[in-house]
Amino acid sequence: MEFTKVGPPVSETDVASFEEQIGASLPADYRAFVLTTNGGVPSPNMVDDPVRELVGIEGFFSLGPVHGELSMVDALATWDGRYPEGTLPIALCGGSNLLLLTLRGQTTHPVYYWEHDGEADEGEPARTDNLTQLAESFTDLIRSLHDEDPIDHPDVQRMMGGDVWVDPNFNPGPRKH
């Protein structure tokens, strides 16, 4: 796993200050990631999604004095009140969609895909029907990242001796005689 465009180094004090700001402790695995990597663009960057098949991660948000599309400060300001309480946006995906990390009310900390197009209307409480769980934890999410190459995708098989791709769930239906 490689990360480019990482944020500037942050200290334990920076992370503790951020936790105080959001009113929650970061899960240990995500906290370690912030302290060692502080966000950035992962390679590989694709994760399987049971609804959309694949989700591309544009980058993980960075703490600290950075601004732009991968800034945690800017992300919190942009999406404030638009995603469910008790979660934290940790990554930007295509189409202004997010990855959210569960912070509170759980003994585990699942990661969810938040679909921007399914969010609540302005002034309404954040919805949860636009969430899809992608991983049981931040560590599981990182471990599940892969390239987009269809050869590596579990739902695709390469037929022997040719360049034809077949979905293993394909069912042509009953044969007509």
Is the CATH number 3.40.1580.10 carried by domain 2-147? yes
- Name the band, by pLDDT with cuts 50, 70 and 90, for residue 54: confident
Average of pLDDT values for 34-43? 95
d(Cα 67, Cα 73) in Å, to the nearest integer?
Answer: 7
pLDDT in tens, 62-117: 997 777 789 999 999 998 888 998 999 999 998 889 999 999 766 789 999 988 88
Percent of the chain, pLDDT > 70?
82
Q: Is the Cα dihedral 109, 112, 118, 123 positive or negative?
A: positive
**30, 109 contact by CB (below 8 A):** yes
**62, 33 contact by CB (below 8 A):** no
Q: Say whether pLDDT at 161 is over 60.
A: no
The helix (H) or strand (E) run that includes residue 13 is: helix 12-22
Q: Residue 91: what pLDDT?
A: 96
pLDDT in tens, 126-150: 878 889 999 999 999 999 999 975 5
- Name the band, by pLDDT with cuts 50, 70 and 90, for residue 163: low
Q: Residue 173: what pLDDT?
A: 53
Q: Residue 113: what pLDDT?
A: 93
Sequence ranges of the domains in the chain: 2-147
- Name the band, by pLDDT with cuts 50, 70 and 90, for residue 153: very low
**144, 154 contact by CB (below 8 A):** no
Say what the pTM is: 0.80
Q: Residue 140: what pLDDT?
A: 95
Q: Say whether pLDDT at 53 is over 90.
A: no
